[in-house]
Structure 1
Amino acid sequence: MAKKVSILCVGLFVSLIARGQTDTSAFDKLYSEFTRIESIYRNHYINKEYDKTVISLEEVLSLINKVNLTDEDKATYERFIDMMKSDTYYNLSCSYSLMNKKKQAVDAFENAVKFGYKNYRHALSDKDLDNIRKDKKFTKLLQSIKEFDNLIVLQKSNGYKKKENDSLPLFSYEAENSWNLRNVRAFFNLDSVAGNGDELSKIINILNFIHNSIRHDGGNFALCEFDAIDIYNYHKSTGKGVNCRHLAIALNEMYLSMGIKSRYVTCMPKDPNDNDCHVINSVYSQQLNKWIWIDPSFNAYVKDEKGNFLGIAEVRDRLINNQPLVLNEDANHNNETKQTKEEYLENYMAKNLYWFLCIDESKFNPESRYRETYGKYIALVPEGFVLNLPENIINARYITNDPDYFWQLPK
């Protein structure tokens, strides 16, 4: 299975459609049709109607090939369109393989690689492709993308470097007794949700609550203000899910309202042409005196082999050093697809743990679709890595190679 839960990217923070609409009606129309057909395709795939998935995917490719963009628009949206093509051809390869149409499956996989498919580890283990595993052309194509394996790329990254950071912003956390956070706490009845157990049980209970209350949809940039109450009401009134960023912002406010310090952290890939990232929470446990990894999109947290909760930095280090990681058994996507350590951590998150981005002020409604905000975004990057992001995506960007500064505990 490829990105069959959603053909679309999960992160969207640095995607070309990050503001929810583009500057060209032609691309907007393509994107709208793309999402419509994706839903149809997904239902056919779930029902194992592979002849119909082929029809849906071929329709997507036809739409992409017919889109009429200006030369300027082509330059702007070329990377995103290539990503759409590569994922569609990959899923087409899977469909043909499942129908035992081997030549068509291999040809489709070749086109996926041609348009930039690089997810070696996923293709290596995807059971949908088992019918073409022994095909020589497929084997050669698979070997050609091995260098792009997400875990290998992460393991080859440069280290960090401790340095003076006096000129960098201080991290701050809104107090639980602020008017807005008191409203969040009351609106969601979080005292009842959290329960009467210890702090860690409350953290997990609130994670489970938001995961079960707001659906994730990586392709939807919600038409609402970006705070927990508005995001929740948007989902309930429209039935639409929200992307990982909005889920993490909502969960962040829930934790802050309970006096639990937290940040939402954008986890980024090395490849500047990769439009997919993922946003999760780094939650400070006073009980453990450390940050812990919490992901509302996948109801996920991570432990070591001894059962100790791990933070984002620790998970990254353990992936690099091939040390054991244990994903919680009930990690899943929308209570439909179980997550595994191999796919979620060693593949998907390995790709998105190359560098990180975090806002300096952890507070209610830190970003907005409708108004200017003035948060300072701080990037933690490996030494020697050069960021290549559009200036209009991130304001007041600060860059550091010092993990001690970036992951400093709340004061």
Structure 2
Amino acid sequence: MTKLFLFLFTIYFFTSCVQFKKVATSFNGNCRQLKKYSNYESNSIGQQSKYIFESSELTMLKQVYELDKLVDKDELVTIINLLEWTHKTIPYSYGFSGDKTKSFSNPRNALTMLKNKDDKNMVFVCRDMATALTEIYLSIGFKARTVTCISRYFNDNDVHVVTEVYCKKLKKWIMVDPSFNAYFIDNNNQILNLCEIRDHFANKLDLKTNSNVNINNLAFNSHKYLKYMSRVCFDFERAIDIEFGIENKSVKRMILNPKGYSKKKYTDSEYLQITNNTDLFWN
């Protein structure tokens, strides 16, 4: 239990306090490492995730912020509308360096963050942004999950947290990043999920972002974003079951770690499952 606590504290701390930490890596070097460690198992045996849409908090979230007004007859348009609304409504604290005079959202959920969005003493890091967007999607009835993207480098504890949402129209999960108003597109203009993004990096396949990547309405260099994501798309972590307020609960979580890589020591426990099964993790 002590090892689990230390691991989860490390993820929480660095998600909260480190943004784009300078680590001596290159885009090509990151891609080579992803290619080197790209061996996984593939079968659907294991616990399937549950997505809980019914709660008074989700109903309140939808009603108070009139999220129905962002719903379009085109499902993908709705997904992008909700991404952009979250990005514009909650200010992302890019580059936060641990100022102790600032406060984090407590409890960490969309209702609390939206209530305090104009408080200059509040900090909203990537985990906050992704948590809020995930809960906003749940309130509309979308399957969605908050996913932590983890670097492979032993001396690099930086992580980035994003949202994946299931699009029935595309019959697949897609990744959206409310911190940067970002998503990834392939040569066929298809929006990608994290599994596909990692594969594109590993195999040096063409990959681009949407044109309006930004931080608080200030344009952000998409090449810098690509390089950063190539560094942190090595391991992934998420809760197994998804519901409102999950960031404030002790729930079982899962880490996807490629075969053959053991420099970061993860330990199975009551609250943490380590797997190299892509079907299980991305179900």
8 A contact 1:217–1:243 mirrored in 2: yes
Shift in Å at residue 407 of structure 1? 1.0
Residue number in structure 1 paired with 2:143: 261
1:213 to 80, 84, 89: 89
SS of the aligned residue for 1:280 comes to strand
Residue number in structure 2 paired with 1:201: 77
Q: Counterpart of 2:84 in structure 1: which amino acid?
A: N
Residue number in structure 1 paired with 2:262: 386
Partners of 2:59 and 2:148 lie apart in 1 by: 26
Q: Provide the TM-score with structure 2 as the length reference.
A: 0.85
Shift in Å at residue 319 of structure 1? 1.2
SS of the aligned residue for 2:104 comes to coil
2:37 to 137, 142, 157: 157
8 A contact 2:105–2:112 mirrored in 1: no
Are residue 355 (structure 1) and residue 235 (structure 2) matched?
Answer: yes
Match runs of 1:79-158 below 5 Å: 87=22, 117-121=23-27, 149-158=29-38
Are residue 374 (structure 1) and residue 250 (structure 2) matched?
Answer: yes
SS of the aligned residue for 2:246 comes to coil
Structure 2 gaps, min length 5: 1-7
Are residue 237 (structure 1) and residue 114 (structure 2) matched?
Answer: no
Residue number in structure 1 paired with 2:5: none
Residue number in structure 1 paired with 2:167: 285
Shift in Å at residue 389 of structure 1? 5.7
Partners of 1:182 and 1:173 lie apart in 2 by: 15
Shift in Å at residue 367 of structure 1? 1.6
1:323 to 205, 217, 230: 205
Q: Counterpart of 1:343 in structure 2: which amino acid?
A: K
SS of the aligned residue for 2:117 comes to helix
Q: Counterpart of 1:14 in structure 2: which amino acid?
A: T
Residue number in structure 2 paired with 1:174: 52
Distance 1:298 1:159, change over 3 A: same
Are residue 299 (structure 1) and residue 181 (structure 2) matched?
Answer: yes
Shift in Å at residue 334 of structure 1? 2.0
Partners of 1:355 and 1:17 lie apart in 2 by: 17
Partners of 1:195 and 1:158 lie apart in 2 by: 38
Match runs of 1:41-60 below 5 Å: none
Shift in Å at residue 399 of structure 1? 0.9
Distance 1:239 1:315, change over 3 A: same
8 A contact 2:33–2:202 mirrored in 1: no
8 A contact 1:272–1:389 mirrored in 2: no
Residue number in structure 2 paired with 1:14: 10
Distance 1:15 1:162, change over 3 A: closer
Render the CA deviation track for 1:171-199: whole Å, top value 9, x for unaligned: 11112x4211101111221011x143311
Shift in Å at residue 268 of structure 1? 0.5
RMSD (Å) for aligned C-alpha atoms: 2.8
Residue number in structure 2 paired with 1:407: 282
8 A contact 2:151–2:233 mirrored in 1: yes
Partners of 2:182 and 2:125 lie apart in 1 by: 16
Partners of 2:132 and 2:273 lie apart in 1 by: 24
Distance 1:215 1:389, change over 3 A: farther
Q: Percent identity?
A: 31
Are residue 185 (structure 1) and residue 185 (structure 2) matched?
Answer: no
Shift in Å at residue 336 of structure 1? 1.4
8 A contact 1:302–1:309 mirrored in 2: yes
Q: Provide the TM-score with structure 1 as the length reference.
A: 0.60
Shift in Å at residue 239 of structure 1? 5.4
8 A contact 1:13–1:277 mirrored in 2: no
Render the CA deviation track for 1:126-185: whole Å, top value 9, x for unaligned: xxxxxxxxxxxxxxxxxxxx8xx322322222411225733xx3311112x421110111
Shift in Å at residue 398 of structure 1? 0.2
8 A contact 1:214–1:232 mirrored in 2: yes
Shift in Å at residue 19 of structure 1? 10
Higher strand residue share: 2
Q: Which has the larger radius of gyration?
A: 1
SS of the aligned residue for 1:324 comes to coil
